[in-house]
Amino acid sequence: MSALFLAWAITCAQIVLGFAMLCALGRLIRGPRAQDRVLGLDTLYAIVMMLLLTFGIQTGRALYFETALIIAMLGFASTVALSKFLMRGEVIE
């Protein structure tokens, strides 16, 4: 009973996170300027990290946690590099 309820809730959360990803993707595609696109990409990274955590809860494996950690770090590095590029025109000076 409780497992069925939890399975239903996890699936709902995944669907809702999918819609959030669609919103961020819309901003990534539409975004009038480059900084809007970078913001959409950053949001997309954060949502993917949360989605991986829900997959981890669903399967009960710790593997997904490590993937989520790596995705979070990649998101940080890419956003910093992209905003540095927008500011200066180059990443490493």
Partner 1 sequence: MMQAPDLPLWAALITALLLLTGSLLTLTGALGLLRLRSFYQRVHAPTLGATLGAGCILIASMLCFSVLETRAVLHEVLIALFLTVTTPVTLMLLARAALYRDRVEGNPETPPDTGQERPANPAEKA
Binding residues for partner 1 (CB under 8 A) = 1-14, 16-17, 19-21, 23-24, 26-27, 33-36, 38-40, 42-43, 46-47, 49-50, 53-54, 56-60, 62, 65, 68-69, 72-73, 76, 79-80, 83-84, 86-87
Q: How many residues does the chain have?
A: 93
Q: How far is the CB of 92 from partner 1 (least distance, A)?
A: 15
Q: How far is the CB of 86 from partner 1 (least distance, A)?
A: 4
Q: How far is the CB of 59 from partner 1 (least distance, A)?
A: 7
19/92 with CB nearer partner 1 = 19
Phi, psi of 91 (to 5 degrees): -90, -50
Q: Which residues contact 56 (CB under 8 A, 6 or more apart)?
A: 62, 63, 64, 65, 68
Structural tokens at position 24: 């961020």
Structural tokens at position 57: 């809860």
